[in-house]
Structure 1
Amino acid sequence: MSDKKNFSYDKAVARIEEIVSLLENDDKSIDELSDLVKEASKLVKDCKSKLRMTEEDILKAFGEEDH
């Protein structure tokens, strides 16, 4: 994620859903499929990172940081 502060988890999930819908359409070229899969993969990675950071923030807020 290049801009973590402005990352929107909800927007990323919506885009992933859009990509899945596009992938279900059979009229994409190999290049288009490749680009869509790469984009979805990056979005999934960014979402996982956001979830981990959120979990850490919650644990810190409740004084349960695991170090």
Structure 2
Amino acid sequence: MDNTTYRDAIAELETILRALETDTIDVDELTARVQRSAQLIRLCKQKLRTAEDAIDRVFENLDQDEDDLPTPAEEDAPPLFAPPTPKRAPRAPRDTSGGLLF
């Protein structure tokens, strides 16, 4: 497997292009350079696809994490199920002097 990095592949492609533009490659070497260029272009495309897929997965995971967070409305909303509050016995009525009215 080719361990060439994307940056190295681009640099080599630029070198080949400069050589083609300046006519420093003879005809016999031209075919080999064109074939190498095709390999490098395929490698770069694959690395870009791999990077794009990895970035998409990161954003999908972020979206899933956000889906798990409560929205502001959910944070303030009462719970879906609340246990019943215990009922207290009614207080006996009192008069204004603080005594019990019986």
Length-normalised TM-score, structure 2: 0.54
Alignment of 1:1-67 (within 5 A): 2-3=1-2, 6-63=3-60
- C-alpha change, 1:8 and 1:62, in structure 2 (3 Å) is same
* Residue identity opposite 2:26 in structure 1: S
Find the aligned partners of 1:41 and 1:56 in 2 and give their Cα distance. 23
Find the aligned partners of 1:26 and 1:15 in 2 and give their Cα distance. 16
Q: RCO greater where, 1 or 2, for CA within 8 Å and sep 6 or more?
A: 1
Gaps of at least 5 residues in structure 2 are 62-102
Length-normalised TM-score, structure 1: 0.79
Q: How many residues of Structure 1 are paired with residues of Structure 2 in the alignment?
A: 61
